[in-house]
Structure 1
Amino acid sequence: MTIDQARLWNRLEALSEITDPERPWTRRSFTLRFLEGRDWLAAEFRAAGLETAIDAAGNLIGRLPGSDPALKPILIGSHSDTVPSGGRYDGILGVLAGLEVAQSLAESGQRLRHPLEIVDFLAEEPSEFGLSCIGSRGLAGALSEEHLALRRPDGMTLREGIAFVGGRPEELASVARPGGSVAAYVEVHIEQGRVLESEAVPIGIVTDIVGIRRERITVTGRADHAGATPMPLRADALVGASRLIEAAYRRALATARDNQPLVATFGRIEVSPNAANAVPGEAVMILEVRSGDEAAVKAFGEALVRDLRPALEELRLTVTSEPISHVAPTACAQDIRKAIADASASLGLATRDLPSGAGHDGVFVARTGPIGMIFVPCLDGRSHAPEESITPEQAGDGTRVLAQTLRLLDTRLS
């Protein structure tokens, strides 16, 4: 099996060019632009000889039968949707690397023992419905009725959105795969960090995917006239919010030298009345905490609010917190990590173990079977930004390691 690096790169460039022309590189899930990319991708799957279909959860799947139909499938994939103005290689590298491996396998005349499935998961990135990893949740049986009832700003429900992309939300139960039904899942992804590039290491072997917790924190004071209200009499919610933001930053920064560092971000804040001449009466913020330490992720927001509450009360403010979502850290399987290491060594490529600070579909696929991830460097660690960039050689290295990992897993797994 020989990987055609030029073909892989041409496909990466072609799919990335299917973008909102006013905002490259943007291909948001549940949009006509996303469907255009999906149509192109499905055509490439079929041309490569894959049995191609969209499952009930809206995942695009291409399949190569194995020589032993009794064996569980090996899955390879990622996602083709993007965040706004970012994602030229994030996600699509994993899908197209999987496609290149499958096509090269078919062209070589070889056949795996295990069935092989290449998956483009629906909406890995946070969607307008307020939910991420929608397709992989569906695969794992983790899409609830509450999820399906979520609405985006224009009123469309997630149930309607899944149907819009060709899924069948009324049949979700039929697509959910139970634990132990997948032999292995492997994904190639850009690192989205600077470790591999700074150390000149071509391949990263992911040890675990961090846990992610989001909480809504509301600081309530009193809206007043900005000119007529003396400073000592104010109950300025935004001042209280700033205290929380600074404290969260300092507490997370203090973990930087830990084996399991934690990051905390207030990435969204809504202030009301939100007027230049009004004292803010309320500030609603979203706190996101990420770490491989499950206990630390759970405790951070609660401790932050508890410890800052007395200081906020001195400012005549109240503060409340409510959880929005929580995904536990997910470990990558030792057997798959070993196969990636052996595959890289056989190709003469150095490796480094490192955690993933970003979330991935593998978190939910792990409920169906063991997972592993292969990282390749990206320029200056930039991702989710227009500057996101990799080279054809980096894409090729990751795909060659994926191909060899697949061969090893096919012989080692039952």
Structure 2
Amino acid sequence: MAKSNLPLDADRLWADIMDLAEITDPAQPYTRRSFTALFLEGRTLVAQRFAEAGLAVRMDTAGNLIGRIEGRNPSLGVIAIGSHSDTVPSGGRFDGIAGVATGLEIVRALRDGGAQLDHTLEVIDFLAEEPSEYGLSCVGSRGMSGSLDGKMLDLVEPSGEPLRDALRRVGGDPERLDAARRGDIRAFLELHIEQGVVLESQSLDIGVVSSIVGIRRIEIVFEGEADHAGTTPLQLRHDALLAAADTVAIVRSVAERLDWEGSGYFVATVGILTVEPSASNIVPGRCRLVIDARTTNPDLTRRFVEAVEQDSAAAATRARVKRSAFTALSDGPPVACDPHLQAALRRAARDLGLGQTDLPSGAGHDAAFMSRICRSAMVFVPCRAGKSHAPEEWADRDAVAAGAAVILQAVKALDQSLQEAGPV
């Protein structure tokens, strides 16, 4: 089937993505950080489009925005489609947003064709999939899967607001999180840009995601003594940044060694490094860094953490400072996508005449947490030069529409096959 003859309205889908992209900080496109006024403005637009498509709209206690249309046989449970509408700073127009818009367009396409599923269909905009100012990602899907605990709710952003207060501020209810946990969802499907170059380089339309990496984030804090940068001799300094700088190099070195072994995909990044008091003429008295480690092999994460814990303690000793914290902020294990759903996506792509391949995901997604409570799978579509989490992030209109069409066809098939397959 030609991409110009797909069973949905590609222009309407594209308009949803572009309209949401317009809600951004003009000085920092495309930025719509979770828990901000711009994020809430974007959600108002999403909720409006949900309602216009005939969906019943609600917010669950974990802050997820949900649109729902009942099936002919609600006792069969729910097929859900979704992603997230928040972005990283100076992010893109497609990461997350394309997945939410896909779910919305599938509802419209079914309505336009006069079709009603036996299963109930939901479109979900998960809260705060991107790492938030509170140091936690996938807040909404953690809540829906029962993986958001009190310790996480106590996390605070730089100005001191706890996550539990922020959740309440955007419409959730941290005192009733159990009400967000679901047991009625039979399948969850998510469309996403690839954030890599495999599909583009091989001129393929669709990636059926085979697995999603596990992600562990670790906070390390070094405390030394702030001193005058001009009058304090080097040998008398207690420079917290010196220990932090050594640790950044240690993270890279250990990660390279584990990756070279070939026993699984492994990467690690220091993406946050804060220095206090952060003045050119003061020896740094305190440094905080956050490590993001990703792998398909949990044993590699264990070995990485052990090595960095030992070597960062030695770095603190060399710099004559104290390592006051070495803490796991979050930990999500690797996830294999559901074989039944993967097969349905492959068949749909084949029936639509689209080129496809299986791909692992090196990025985290809400689908990983949804896999804890239901069958879960993903579709990747090509993005230009693999660029993501940047203003230059781009996916072609027809590429997104092709991915949405694959999920639409799979949903129709799953509406029958899930009844035959029985419980997971």
What TM-score does the superposition give when structure 1 sets the normalisation length?
0.92
Is 1:186 aligned to residue 189 of structure 2? Answer: yes
Answer with 288-297 or 20-29: which moved more: 20-29
> Does structure 1 conserve the Cα–Cα contact (< 8 Å) formed by 2:136 and 2:329?
no
State the partner residue of 1:144: 149
> Does structure 1 conserve the Cα–Cα contact (< 8 Å) formed by 2:263 and 2:297?
no
State the partner residue of 2:422: none
Whole-angstrom distance in 2 between the partners of 1:229 and 1:164: 47
Answer with 266-275 or 372-381: which moved more: 266-275
Name the SS of the counterpart of 2:345 in structure 1: helix
> Does structure 2 conserve the Cα–Cα contact (< 8 Å) formed by 1:90 and 1:383?
yes
Whole-angstrom distance in 2 between the partners of 1:238 and 1:104: 56
What TM-score does the superposition give when structure 2 sets the normalisation length?
0.90
State the partner residue of 2:300: 296
> Does structure 1 conserve the Cα–Cα contact (< 8 Å) formed by 2:250 and 2:311?
no
State the partner residue of 1:393: 398
CA deviations on 1:200-259 (whole Å, 9 max, x unpaired) are 221111111111111122344554443344444544433332222223213323415726
State the partner residue of 1:242: 245
State the partner residue of 1:128: 133
- The residue type paired with residue 240 of structure 2 is A
Whole-angstrom distance in 2 between the partners of 1:388 and 1:157: 32
Give RMSD over aligned pairs: 2.2
State the partner residue of 2:375: 370
Whole-angstrom distance in 1 between the partners of 2:53 and 2:284: 58
- CA change 1:32–1:168 in 2 (3 A) is same
Q: How does 1:63-82 map to 2 (within 5 A)?
A: 63-82=68-87
Name the SS of the counterpart of 1:70 in structure 2: helix
Count matched residues.
412
Measure how far apart 1:269 and its partner are: 1.6
1:211 aligned to 214, 219, 237, which one? 214
Answer with 350-359 or 140-149: which moved more: 140-149
- CA change 1:170–1:313 in 2 (3 A) is closer
- CA change 1:147–1:280 in 2 (3 A) is closer
2:317 aligned to 299, 302, 313, which one? 313
Whole-angstrom distance in 2 between the partners of 1:235 and 1:164: 41
> Does structure 1 conserve the Cα–Cα contact (< 8 Å) formed by 2:90 and 2:389?
yes
- CA change 1:89–1:276 in 2 (3 A) is same
Answer with 54-63 or 157-166: which moved more: 157-166
- CA change 1:110–1:146 in 2 (3 A) is same
2:363 aligned to 350, 353, 358, which one? 358
Name the SS of the counterpart of 1:81 in structure 2: coil
2:176 aligned to 163, 171, 174, which one? 171
Measure how far apart 1:28 and its partner are: 1.8
Name the SS of the counterpart of 1:3 in structure 2: coil
> Does structure 2 conserve the Cα–Cα contact (< 8 Å) formed by 1:148 and 1:158?
yes
- CA change 1:146–1:281 in 2 (3 A) is closer
Name the SS of the counterpart of 2:29 in structure 1: coil
- The residue type paired with residue 177 of structure 2 is L
Measure how far apart 1:143 and its partner are: 2.6
Name the SS of the counterpart of 1:354 in structure 2: strand
State the partner residue of 2:115: 110
Whole-angstrom distance in 2 between the partners of 1:377 and 1:201: 8
- CA change 1:318–1:130 in 2 (3 A) is closer
Measure how far apart 1:312 and its partner are: 5.4
Is 1:279 aligned to residue 291 of structure 2? Answer: no
Whole-angstrom distance in 2 between the partners of 1:256 and 1:351: 29
Is 1:198 aligned to residue 201 of structure 2? Answer: yes
Whole-angstrom distance in 1 between the partners of 2:156 and 2:236: 40
State the partner residue of 2:3: none
Measure how far apart 1:149 and its partner are: 3.7
State the partner residue of 2:264: 260
Is 1:28 aligned to residue 33 of structure 2? Answer: yes
**Where in structure 1 are there 5+ consecutive unaligned residues?**
none
Measure how far apart 1:90 and its partner are: 0.7
- CA change 1:222–1:40 in 2 (3 A) is closer
**Where in structure 2 are there 5+ consecutive unaligned residues?**
1-5, 420-424
> Does structure 2 conserve the Cα–Cα contact (< 8 Å) formed by 1:287 and 1:301?
no
Percent of aligned pairs with the same amino acid = 46
